[in-house]
Chains A and B, each alone.
Chain A
């Protein structure tokens, strides 16, 4: 296990008064005040110019199509396209929250503490850029601007046609393989469950394979230790499952990798 506290001597206690330090007042407080005023003015002008939306009164008998959540939840709602609700709405958000909280405990790199650097923390910065900025903001963008009735794709300039019907041609992976590779065995429910489980198992076994392959040569991995590494790798692969499923859906119309009809779980 790595020793997380050995970098303690690098941190200067807040109370130490070195010449390269300044007082909060007025230097920071002044900026904070200016930012506060500017933001307040911006929000006020926005509120005067654009009325807060108020739709017709709630009517439990009439479902709007589409019913969209506030923009900051649309990434979540968009994930529902690629995963079942228990996964997209429960498991993945929980992992996002847990993953975020784990960050300080799995990122032991003492460099880049308090200043921006890409060179010294390539992995940390790249993962965040991909997982948060690209993936999350992209999903919100799709949800806000590209989704219309039936949660179908619509270009922002296209008129929403509630009668647009997209042929449901989504197939599950086992059926896709059975059809294209001629392995009829995969059509069987039990066989596909075993096959799909093995596939997912193989995907997550990459964690161990990469450790075996690189832990001797990459110093950061040794410092991380096997448990922290395992957590990071698990979260990383789970995150990557989303773009993988998105690409599978968009290119091959694949819906599920594996189904467990006995307990109603599909992945």
Chain B
């Protein structure tokens, strides 16, 4: 093990990565609420794993989508739980990412010099919503179908670009086969690629800048005063 690490380190300097990530110095008193960010990442990993497992048995076509989800639920070993984890994990994701945002807001952690982390974070939050919106349709049940109908109809009302946007989302004038394949492609290809890029950027900022410091008792203006 040691030799393998040495071998890799000699070529790739992997110990520097370890130092950057784990020997980082962070302010004392960093407590539980500072774990919400990495927890969001954890839930994202859960969604990736369960999502891949679901994709193994899912068929994105109106004829078979519902049937395949039903098959996953009733026939596949632990399928019901994997689908449950993915479904409830989505809610947990929205909840935890939002809590993370609230924490950052209340502690003013978005302030100079961390503005960009915040802006990228807002984009990530938006993509999380996009995951929710596109994923909702995939079971092709009544709830998903009509919620998507409501959603794309709203998009249609946008001034100027509305009708074109709705057509692009639905892949036509009506909600049908192309809508489902499109939503599936967005859900499993486009959004993951986008969110991975943004997460990498977000983490790079955090590691590079260090997390913002909590207050200290004897310094009313915070530790930096």
Contact = CB atoms under 8 A, between A and B. Distances in A.
Interface stretch (A110-118, A183-191, A192-200, A234-242): A110-118
B188 to A, nearest CB: 18
Q: How large is the interface on B (under 10, 10 to 19, 20 to 34, 35 or more residues)?
A: 35 or more
A21 B28 contact: yes
Contacts of A29: 22
A36 B39 contact: yes
A5 B154 CA distance: 41
Contact of B112 (A8, A64, A97): A8
A121 B221 CA distance: 12
B13 to A, nearest CB: 18
Contacts of B198: none
Contact of A44 (B85, B139, B145, B221): B85
Interface string A62-75: 11100111111100
Tell me the dominant secondary structure on chain B's binding face: helix
Contact of B147 (A46, A69, A101): A69
Q: How large is the interface on A (under 10, 10 to 19, 20 to 34, 35 or more residues)?
A: 35 or more
A109 B105 CA distance: 13
Interface stretch (A49-57, A167-175, A207-215, A222-230): A49-57
Interface in B31-46: 31-32, 34-36, 38-39, 42-43, 46
Nearest to A69: B147
Interface stretch (B3-11, B157-165, B189-197): B157-165
A54 B225 contact: no
A114 B107 contact: yes
A159 B64 CA distance: 34
B158 A56 contact: no
A23 B162 contact: no
A84 to B, nearest CB: 7
Interface of B: 21-28, 30-32, 34-36, 38-39, 42-43, 46, 62, 66, 69-70, 73, 80-81, 83-92, 94, 96, 102, 105-115, 118-119, 122, 125-126, 129, 132-133, 136, 139-147, 149-151, 153-159, 162, 174-175, 208-210, 212-216, 221-225
